[in-house]
Amino acid sequence: MLDHLTKAAARNIFYGGTLFFFIAFAVLVGDSVRRARVMEANHPISDAVAHGKRVWEQHACFDCHTLYGEGARFAPELGKVWLKYGGAKDPDGAREALKNWFAAQPTGVEGRHQMPQFHLSDTNVNDVISYLQWTSTVDTQGWPPHAPE
């Protein structure tokens, strides 16, 4: 195998091809970033949402939960949890229900995965909920299956 390929040719194909594919990738990523900015203009990221994302990161929520399927699989997917709680029709009700959820942890139910009590301040709870409200507005190409409307 590879008898007709010289080492110099193999080297040139490797470097040339890598450069070509990386440029192609960068162009596509650039276009996707532009579209994400357009989406952001339609669904502005308020200070509360941006801070909520920081709360999410500082408590390593992704080390149990997933957002759009990424993170750990120890706890439920939360990308569209706002809609699951009926946030599209009754935002105040959804916010209240999610706050109660945070307050009720850990449940201590035998055999169930446990979530810690993070003792979040009112601002932090509100902001992380605002963040999850924002994530529910992103067009995820119909993922996950059976996502609430």
Side chain identity at residue 94, one-letter code = A
Positions 84 through 143 that interact with another protein (CB under 8 A): 106, 108-117, 134-135, 138-143
Taking contact as CB under 8 A, which single stretch among the options 56-64, 86-94, 95-103, 120-128 is the one that binds another protein? Answer: 56-64
* Residue closer to another protein (CB basis): 92 or 108: 108
Please report how close the Cβ of residue 122 comes to another protein at its closest, in angstroms.
20
* Interaction between residue 35 and another protein (CB under 8 A): yes
Six token digits for residue 139: 């067009």
Count of residues touching another protein (by CB under 8 A): 71
| Furthest CA-CA distance within the chain | 70
Helix (H) or strand (E) holding 70: strand 70-71
Answer for which of 77, 85, 95, 126 binds another protein (CB under 8 A) is 77
What is the closest distance, in whole angstroms, from the C-beta atom of residue 107 to another protein in the complex? 10
CA 105 from chain centre, in angstroms, equals: 22
How far apart are the C-alpha atoms of 135 and 53, rounded to whole Å? 10
**Nearer CB in complex with another protein: 13/96:** 13
Of 49, 94, 125, 129, which one interacts with another protein (CB under 8 A)?
49
CA distance 23 to 29: 10
Task: Extract the tokens encoding 17.
Answer: 């091809």
